Structure 1
């Protein structure tokens, strides 16, 4: 566990992706818990997360990485406390835990034996505007996480479908086809891309979020198309942005400033990590993992 925390936190938001080719003996496959190899991966993810929930943490390593994060991003201890840091740090929340989160704390999950919906019933092969993409393929260890949002066409891009993201320090916001984006982050065994879809009863919240992300940050004609990458504790900051903040803002404005019980508001001492993004949708109760592909 100490090794995990050290790797995960020391690389937090400091990584810039370098694209490499997929090895010839590997292929990208649909993730399916019915496949024994994939079921084993899911169990490993659950064990790692259970250890985190149980407080299996190395305080010395946490403090070291907390100080590193503050120093690298010019954030004071008053702005971002050590307790906030501990709350917002951790491994991916594994499915089927997504819909079984502690309603008193979006950063911690209750373990559950409840089975997820049948995998084949989740995905019809079509994206919906506002779909959220999360990958672990952003470092040699896969503990950092990166996120993008599907913006589709929205009448902006001449019929082409795109995902929008900001890949890291020194990089601008970009529009990429899903195929190209997926291939950039899936280069070694165990790399995956998960697609989450908020379960709003009013589906236009999703489509509107895709529209908002595009109109705010599209590098073609977005209002803030020249925004710089940077870590900020202001969830509505538009002078600097990081990957999950684009998605948070897209849904914040889609739900009319969060005026719906299905969407939680971030506080002003919070860094929204990719792996914890699903917890902002009513503590994970109003979002589904609809599709996942994995290298193996």
Structure 2
């Protein structure tokens, strides 16, 4: 009995020591790992966040890809933080333009990291927030409140098309198709539909269907992640980080 008690006492001490000296970032990373179990996938299907035409392997790949892409965007020297998101004056010094692609790490959906919207003016963003929501326009102030300033690690990045006319056409398409629409939030592989949609699909569609010729990669079947929009939409350049 004494040996048994001694063994468990030593084990407990080791666990405490590891817990104390293990870097907090490592603990946070472990805690932030998305649940990609089949049970979780089925729950998202039941909740209507994922369409029934999204396979388990496709969903799991989307979750894992979003994690890798977020790390790339967060750590890349190409995307340095220009201004602090807490600095009102610094934020005021940058003016978004119609058609700007807005991407944030301030939220996620179905385990897929990131969120995106398209600027419809210098002060408004069209987006769809998530489950149970319809597309709507919100102010940049509201966007920053909901996403950019969510915590100390949250950011919003702005990308701009090199041709303002193309950007206008994209934004106008998004406004015509989605502003005040009854489209439901759901992630499906059908990139042509407008009755169900999700955040980065709206932005991609705007640049695929708005300008002529299309300014986004096809095909119209598959998925578009918030963090891969700078690659799937043509001629975007990084403009600003909040």
The TM-score with structure 2 as length reference comes to 0.67
Residues 118 and 4 from structure 1, CA distance in 2 versus in 1: closer, same or farther, beyond 3 angstroms?
A: closer
User: 1:158-181, CA deviations, whole angstroms, 9 ceiling, x for partnerless residues?
Assistant: xxx311111111112221111122
User: 1:207-266, CA deviations, whole angstroms, 9 ceiling, x for partnerless residues?
Assistant: 1111111111111xxxxx1111111211111111111111111111223362x5xx2114
Aligned residue in 1 for 2:193: 237
Larger radius of gyration, structure 1 or 2?
2
The TM-score with structure 1 as length reference comes to 0.56
Structure 2 residues not aligned, in runs of 5+ = 1-25, 84-91
Question: Which is richer in helix?
Answer: 2
User: 1:136-165, CA deviations, whole angstroms, 9 ceiling, x for partnerless residues?
Assistant: 1126xx972111110017xxxxxxx31111
Give the number of aligned pairs: 200
Which whole-Å CA distance do the structure 2 matches of 1:71 and 1:136 have between them?
26
Which whole-Å CA distance do the structure 1 matches of 2:43 and 2:27 have between them?
17
1:265 aligns with 2:228: no
Residue 204 of structure 1: how far off its partner (Å) = 0.7
Structure 1 residues not aligned, in runs of 5+ = 11-60, 98-113, 154-160, 220-224
Which whole-Å CA distance do the structure 1 matches of 2:30 and 2:230 have between them?
21
Aligned residue in 2 for 1:54: none
Which whole-Å CA distance do the structure 1 matches of 2:171 and 2:144 have between them?
18
1:148 aligns with 2:117: yes
Aligned residue in 2 for 1:208: 169
Residues 83 and 118 from structure 1, CA distance in 2 versus in 1: closer, same or farther, beyond 3 angstroms?
A: closer
Residues 134 and 82 from structure 1, CA distance in 2 versus in 1: closer, same or farther, beyond 3 angstroms?
A: same
The two structures, once aligned, show a CA RMSD in angstroms of 3.5
1:94 aligns with 2:73: yes
8 Å CA contact 2:66, 2:113 repeated in 1: no
Aligned residue in 1 for 2:154: 191
Which whole-Å CA distance do the structure 2 matches of 1:290 and 1:8 have between them?
30
Which whole-Å CA distance do the structure 2 matches of 1:5 and 1:74 have between them?
28
User: 1:85-132, CA deviations, whole angstroms, 9 ceiling, x for partnerless residues?
Assistant: 5267232242786xxxxxxxxxxxxxxxx8679969xx9722221111
Residues 74 and 149 from structure 1, CA distance in 2 versus in 1: closer, same or farther, beyond 3 angstroms?
A: closer
8 Å CA contact 1:128, 1:207 repeated in 2: no
SS in structure 1 opposite 2:66?
coil
Alignment of 1:23-172 (within 5 A): 61=36, 73-76=50-53, 80=55, 82=57, 85-86=60-61, 89-91=65-67, 92=70, 93-94=72-73, 125-138=94-107, 144-152=113-121, 161-172=123-134
8 Å CA contact 2:81, 2:241 repeated in 1: no
Which structure has more relative contact order (CA 8 Å, sep 6+)? It is 1
